[in-house]
Amino acid sequence: MSDRLLVLVRHGQSDWNLKNLFTGWKDPDLSELGVSEAKEAGRKLKAQGLTFDVAFTSVLKRAQRTLDLALVEIGQTGLPTKCDLALNERDYGDLSGLNKDDARKKWGEEQVLIWRRSYDVPPPGGESLKDTLARALPYYVQEILPGVLRGERTLVAAHGNSLRALIMVLEKLTPEQILKRELATGAPVIYRLNADSTVASKLDLAA
């Protein structure tokens, strides 16, 4: 019987993470540290003896490159991969590309904190976490989960907020709980699921 394997990994540090910029749907590449983190994610998965049947990622290069670099380390280049904007990072709208300190000067620290840390208040022209969940969750339920339950060993390389959507369902978290959940860059989280899609076991490979 298959162990119904699902591994989630947030992309490695991007150039804009390094520069303290709101990124969202903007498309910067990985920083040097991010490249190292992506490779290390692959090495950690290989050390666990894991291989995969299929991968999913967003349409943004920082997630795609993280996946590619990890797969090189695992020895699985050429793994069938599906890219979809449903797995994109939360869209920060008018904040995208701004330095976080500059945004605080423009709108005030309290307002920026509300946009970043509330569940359902979007920044101007952007998405709230609730909006991000509304796009990522149906994709998970319809496209990713059925394969996992059929025994397809699945790797998902995506973003902090789109992965929170999946974790919210997997771990049955409330909106308040998911807001407090931090995901380290390049650190795989390994889930094995029961036949009813609940979590049988979880292993977080954050250092």
Q: Which residues are catalytic?
A: 11, 89
Q: What angle do CA 33, 192, 150 make, to 5 degrees?
A: 110
Quick one: tokens of 181? 């959940």
CB contact at 8 A, 132 and 90: yes
The DSSP element (H or E) to which 200 belongs, if any, is: strand 199-204
Quick one: tokens of 166? 């999946």
Could you give the CA distance from residue 67 to residue 160 in angstroms, rounded to a whole number?
15
Pairing of strands 154-158, 54-57: parallel
